[in-house]
Structure 1
Amino acid sequence: MSKKVVTLGEIMLRLSTPGFERFVQADSFDVTYGGGEANVAVALSNYGLNGTFVTKVPDNAIGQAAINHVRRYGVDTQYIARGGKRLGIYFLETGAAMRASQVIYDRAGASIADVDASEFDFDKIFDGADWFHTTGITPALSDKAAALTEAALKAAKAKGITTSIDLNYRKKLWSKEKAREVMTRLCQHVDVCIGNEEDADTTLGFKAGETDVTKGELHLEGFKDVFQQMKEKFGFKYIASSLRESHSASDNGWSALVYDGTEFYHT
């Protein structure tokens, strides 16, 4: 039987300019739906696992369209709550060469930000689950969303389910101080932590001393030192990061680093 992985987070309506057009050039937008945690559920379903996505969407046609989008990939959507005012939107202008991508968010008042943990039966949601995943974006949306994230992590841990979180700091959603306060608390209930060098510094206070994120340079020894500090403080079973060396908006070098508490593995 395929392993069941539950993800929790916001799904948004994405309106992107066709091709590489600028916002000021576009006469139309391409429509899709997505979000960090929703995308993970879709990817895992494509890999043959049982992906289950949990969120809250408005009880209208746009909310249903978002549900239908992830459902078409085989994602289990039966635990999605309905209600609230609206679905968050973001506008995307895809970068090219030396021109960076641009994103404009319109997510204030989204349904997932006005949520209560009592709207979800985590005993049922986590029945038969092997893994629970979320990100730092969800608790950044509101105090209610942060409380929901913590409740979900605690419920998963109580059932012996492996938990993971992608730090994923978003400066437009909350301050460094608030992020560090909340994420430090949430990470007490996490087995696997994922995050790049900048997020580890911002949200948890760990810095890769030899890495300059503004230059797109990577120094693995700095990462290793940070991972060891994180392991010592939180006791994570695994710590991972994707590593990017940026050459331009459309040219990046990618690899990954994983630490299991004993050995480092670099792709």
Structure 2
Amino acid sequence: MVQWDVVSFGETMIRLAVPLGERLETATRLEVGIGGAEANVLVALARLGRRTAWASVLPRNPLGERIVRELAWHGVDTSWVQWVERGRVGVYYLDTGVPPRPTAVLYDRAGSAVAQVDPAAFPIDFVAGGRWLHLTGITPALSVGCRAVAERLMERARAAGVPVSFDVNYRSRLWGPDEAARVLEPFCAGATVLFCGEGDARTLWGLEGTALEVAERLAGRFGAGVTVLTLGEGGAVAVTREGERVTAEAPRATVIDRVGAGDAFAAGFLHGYLDGRDLERGLRTGVALAALKLTVRGDLALISAAELEAMLSETRRTIVR
């Protein structure tokens, strides 16, 4: 029986951000939040009215409780979180930049509870209750155990006939490009929808050329039903196995916080694509939600369905076939 629209597994961290205009080395206060690629996607979807479920491993302490309660407050089902009595939550520090000074990120996530997951003991059958499974390339980088859980989830989804989206999401602080390219290859090959940033395609697989050329080479390499290449401020381009090609320009946005914009794009695409498999609507919704996320501080796209629909009405002419 289908219980959720989208399900996922991954790590959510505590985010400690320096207030705008201050520096991490001298700040006397930090803004507390949460963030994690998979959870960011699920929160955005839940706020748009989708049923979502997040699975992970968390220590039973105030930080673990904070993560679960905040996700649940936004409407994400956290009943598949596996609790452990000992362990730690990953933390990341954001030294918020203002142009021309870039934002810097400092991670303290090694050895987190989810990285210590026992793949054989982690439940995966919840996947069969979802219409869609979403995974990212961050999770397999965390540990051998996380990689094994992600592999099992993809296998279970395939057996249950559940489509899978996979966002490459390469993180150079977690592993090198050669290892990442090798490990992520089967995940990309198993995806129904593959998301990849233009920079990741170049770094991991040496793909160069126009956006459309890179997207087509990714599609040829991995064979996903839909391949979506994200271009940041340049928007996104998507190609299908049947030869359909669609490009969406990114709407203009006042940037408050770039963190989580890629996850908002993935959430927007899935929201627009899930019901009718409409590639154009998926791309339009993706770039619109990403633009709206840029205006919100924090990892989470705290955007309502009404705000998104209003934005979509302004971006109907940004599609090129």
TM-score (norm 1): 0.87
Partner of 1:255: 235
Distance 1:104 1:120, change over 3 A: same
Letter in 2 for 1:70: L
Q: Distance in 2 between matches of 1:13 and 1:3?
A: 26
Partner of 1:153: 154
Q: Distance in 2 between matches of 1:202 and 1:149?
A: 23
The RMSD of aligned alpha carbons is: 1.6
Q: SS in structure 1 opposite 2:120?
A: helix
Q: How many residue pairs end up in the alignment? A: 245
Letter in 1 for 2:196: G
Letter in 1 for 2:139: T
Q: Distance in 1 between matches of 2:234 and 2:216?
A: 22
Gaps of 5+ in 1: 210-221, 245-252
Q: SS in structure 1 opposite 2:70?
A: helix
Letter in 1 for 2:169: N
Q: Is the 8 A contact 1:17 1:94 kept in 2?
A: yes
Q: Is the 8 A contact 1:165 1:194 kept in 2?
A: yes
Residue-by-residue CA offset, 1:178-219 (whole Å, 9 max, x unaligned): 10111012223211110111212333x15123xxxxxxxxxx
Gaps of 5+ in 2: 249-321
Letter in 2 for 1:264: R
The offset of 1:233, in angstroms, is: 2.6
Partner of 1:219: none
The offset of 1:20, in angstroms, is: 2.9
Q: Is the 8 A contact 1:3 1:129 kept in 2?
A: yes
> Is 1:46 aligned to residue 47 of structure 2?
yes
Q: Is the 8 A contact 1:2 1:48 kept in 2?
A: no
Q: SS in structure 2 opposite 1:233?
A: helix
Whichever structure has more helix as a proportion of its residues is 2
Partner of 1:197: 198
Q: Distance in 1 between matches of 2:13 and 2:7?
A: 18
Q: Is the 8 A contact 1:129 1:161 kept in 2?
A: yes
Residue-by-residue CA offset, 1:25-47 (whole Å, 9 max, x unaligned): 31011101110100001000011
Partner of 1:133: 134
Residue-by-residue CA offset, 1:116-152 (whole Å, 9 max, x unaligned): 22333222x1233110001111101111111111111
Letter in 2 for 1:257: V
Q: Distance in 2 between matches of 1:24 and 1:235?
A: 46
> Which residue, out of 82, 94, 97, partners 1:95?
97
Residue-by-residue CA offset, 1:68-121 (whole Å, 9 max, x unaligned): 111100100000111251000000011102000011110111011111223332
Letter in 2 for 1:52: A
Letter in 1 for 2:150: T
> Which residue, out of 213, 220, 223, partners 1:225?
213
Q: Is the 8 A contact 1:81 1:119 kept in 2?
A: no
Partner of 1:214: none
Whichever structure has more strand as a proportion of its residues is 1
Q: SS in structure 1 opposite 2:183?
A: helix
Q: SS in structure 2 opposite 1:146?
A: helix
Distance 1:184 1:127, change over 3 A: closer
Partner of 1:62: 63
Letter in 2 for 1:45: A
Partner of 2:207: 207
Partner of 2:165: 164
TM-score (norm 2): 0.73
